[in-house]
Amino acid sequence: MPGSDPGTELLVCVKCRRGIDAPGEPRRPGEVLADRVAERLPDGVRLTRTECLSNCERGCSVALRGPGRWTFVYGNLTETDADIVTHGAALYAGQPDGLVPWRERSEHFKRNCIARIPPMPETQDG
């Protein structure tokens, strides 16, 4: 997306076990989602696979963050939601503060936002 900030980071929890009852079951849904997102990652967004976003009751979770931007955490995702995640990441990357207008967000992101965290204040040396 034109104007994307290369500092946009998409974190995908790869430890999600939702729907897996035994340790010997197939790959975890978060791992599959991360692989599918990696295949279609928007320009200006880097993918970070993370061990846990501590949102286990709400399925696969992702977070979008960047310097000077609001951070968003979204849940209730499955391994089939790569298009939702990459579309949301592209919209986020195109906003200087990370605040995507409500009307532009996918229905899934509107209904499954777990947290909205303000940017850290810039520190001043001196």
Partners of residue 8 on adjacent β-strands: 45
Q: Determine the average pLDDT of the residues in 86-95.
A: 97
In a domain, 2, yes or no: no
Backbone angles phi, psi at 119, to 5 degrees: -65, 150
Enclosing domain of residue 35? 8-115
- Mean pLDDT in the chain? 88
Q: Distance of alpha carbon 74 from its chain centroid, rounded?
A: 6
pLDDT in the model for residue 2: 46
pLDDT band at 68 (very low <50, low <70, confident <90, very high): very high
In a domain, 60, yes or no: yes
Q: Which of 71, 70, 47, 50 is nearest to 61 (CA)?
A: 50
Residue 1 has pLDDT above 60, yes or no: no
Helix residue spans in 1-126 (DSSP H): 29-38, 82-93, 107-111
Place of tokens 């009751």: 57
pLDDT in the model for residue 36: 96
- Indicate the pTM of the whole model: 0.86
In a domain, 121, yes or no: no
Q: For residues 106 and 8, what is the distance between their CA atoms, to the nearest angstrom? A: 19
In a domain, 124, yes or no: no
In a domain, 84, yes or no: yes
Instruction: Dig out the tokens for 109 from the structure.
Output: 């992101």
Q: What is the count of structural domains for the chain?
A: 1
96-117 residue pLDDT tens? 999 999 999 999 999 999 999 9
CATH code at position 48 = 3.40.30.10
